[in-house]
Amino acid sequence: MENFAFLLPVIFCAFGLTFLFVGRHERRSAPWWGIGYLCAALGFIMPILPETFPGPFRSLTADTLFLLALSFNGQGLLAQFRRHLPVWPRALLVAVGILASVVSTFILENPTLALAANDLLTSLCFVVPALAVMRHARGAAERVLVAIVFLVVADSLVRNIVMTVLNRNPSDFETFLLSPYAFLMQTTSTVIGILMALAALACVTLEVIDRYKDVAERDPLTGLLNRRGFDRLSGQKTIAGAVIVCDIDHFKRVNDQYGHAAGDAVIAELARILTLEPVDGAVLARFGGEEFVLFLPGVACEAARAVAHAMHARIGSTDWTRIGVGAVTASFGVSASRSGDLSIYEVMARADRALYAAKTAGRNRVFTEGERAAGPRPAPARAVA
């Protein structure tokens, strides 16, 4: 039992430091979990302190640390699920818990009452955040975490009720530290605490991975997907559908006349305009430079052409002087999938050829696959300065 008691603080301290390390990359929830586990580690140190430290003092300190641990973990849980609750009610619970421990330990000298009050209040510190987040789990890891949180609360309450009913709680603090109750408390708290740490760490780590994956798959200027992100998302969908390729006309002139900062502003504004035509399941990406690709799963060629014309009209009606440049135009190529296509890039190749035909025909227009210079006339627009 003594070796087990020494092992507990080490395990929880290791988890606390791990969370703090991960918190360098995920600052929303990981630091709260880290501080909570470090408080729990200090709480488990109390029973193994030398006898020069009075038992009541160790008991009060441990109760306070466990209250703080569950409060910090509760805040970590809220942060993980992006939920918010007022801080002051939980701070009040901690204050009431400390006061109850002081009264039970030093005035009433009743370990049973001190344990019951502490278990109840620590459970409340944790169950309130758990109830606030239980409907917002976004994946298996978060659902497992919520389940373990309720297991922590159930263990605390059931264990205390059972031991109280059986009247196995010792009447003095020194005896309590060597009692079966103390050992049971440490054992169940450790097992469930480790499970909760692993589940929380999995949630935090997955979030860090998703964040870096998102950064790697997004264009920083427009916030749209880049080619890597487009490949991943479009690859998860059927290739049946249509592709629209958009390219800004005479973009080099914009950079030469207004500067590269203005060119970046034009690209960002065009990306915003392209997102204004909502299509279910659409995948929009910037493929580099001034070229954009939109994949519309399950959409026929004529419907895709209508989407492209709507985008073209928005670009023509935009007041580009707001960002300090003259009128901007763009050309579009549209293509739809065929039964023999093996990948989305075969559809894109035909859309690229339609785009080239639109450029050859004079730019500022929408061409579908197979159209040539005799295609539709462009909508009136001012020439690029």
Which residues are marked as active site? 290
CA distances from 368 to 35, 167, 373 (A): 60, 83, 11
- Classify 301 as helix, strand or coil: helix
| Residue located via tokens 């006309």 | 249
What residue has token string 């944790």? 126
Q: What is the length of the chain?
A: 385
Q: Which two tokens stand for residue 360?
A: 């050859």
> Do residues 130 and 142 lie in contact, with contact meaning Cβ atoms separated by under 8 Å?
no
Enter the tokens of residue 269.
């504004």
Half-sphere exposure of residue 211: CA atoms within 13 angstroms, side-chain side:
10
Task: Report the half-sphere exposure of 367 (CA within 13 A, side-chain side).
Answer: 26
For residues 169 and 256, give the distance between their C-alpha atoms in angstroms, rounded to a whole number. Answer: 83
- What are the b/e assignments for 248-283, b being 16+ CB within 10 Å? bbbbeebbeebeeebbebbbbbbbebbeebebeebb
